[in-house]
Amino acid sequence: MHTKIISAFLTVACLLVLVSMLTGCSKTNMDIPKPVDFNKLTIGHTKPNFYLMCPKSICSIDSDISPTFETDANTLYQAVANVVKNKARVKITSQDDKKYQLAYIQTSRFFNFPDYIDIQVFPVNNNQSTLAIFSRSRYGYYDFGVNKKRVADIIKELSSITSNIITS
């Protein structure tokens, strides 16, 4: 009987420590990174906790290739801004309308773990544009495909809004 009480006490104590550690990672205590310069982007680690989609002509590191949209850069940028602002648990951290660049943090549903997302739209010509998206987890080694799914969802939403997409 005495060991059950001690075991229960230790379990509760461990849970309290875990909860206090996790709430320390909440959105109110996180560092906000500077917006990404996709032309100079490097990945400083080998952890599989990020996903990058970028045009070949912009990023010099290995990534999936972004689609080209049959719309001008300003229209695509406005569509990106609308998609982002309608996402759950999002805080926009940087917006540069002249560079067509947007950075935001999206927190996880249960533990408020932050993910950083940078998006920049690039004109291809007057009637076509493309974009770069870099989505990464702030904490953890592996992201369980969350960042890739996030980017795929953004592309899917943009495709339905712009209705004309050219796959690269």
């998206």: which residue's tokens? 133
Residues 107 and 49 in one domain: yes
pLDDT for 9-52, tens place per residue? 566 555 544 544 444 444 445 578 889 999 998 887 778 899 99
Q: β-strands 50-54, 64-65: how paired?
A: parallel
Q: Which domain CATH number covers 112?
A: 3.30.310.220
Are residues 113 and 142 located together in one domain of the fold? yes
Give bridge partners of residue 2 from the DSSP assignment: none
Contact criterion met (CB below 8 Å) for 121 and 97:
no
Distance CA 50, CA 168 (A): 22
The answer to whether the beta carbons of residues 25 and 113 sit under 8 Å apart is yes
134 neighbors 118 (Cβ within 8 angstroms): yes
The Cα–Cα gap between 120 and 142 comes to 25
Give yes or no for a contact between 128 and 70, defined as CB atoms under 8 angstroms apart: yes
Euclidean distance between CA atoms 1 and 115, whole angstroms? 45
Same domain, 72 and 125: yes
Indicate whether 88 and 152 sit together in one domain: yes
Rounded to two decimals, the pTM is 0.79
Parts of the chain with a pLDDT under 70: 1-2, 6-30, 163-168
Specify whether 25 is located in the same domain as 58. no
pLDDT at 16: 45
Q: What is the pLDDT of residue 32?
A: 83
| pLDDT of res. 9 | 58
Q: Quote the CA–CA distance of 84 and 102 in Å, as a whole number.
A: 9
Domain carrying residue 4: 1-30
Q: Are residues 19 and 68 located together in one domain of the fold?
A: no
Residues 132 and 116 in one domain: yes
DSSP string, 86-106: TSTTEEEEEEETTTTEEEEEE
Whether residues 82 and 36 fall in one domain: yes
Do 15 and 47 belong to one domain?
no
Q: What total number of domains does the chain contain?
A: 2
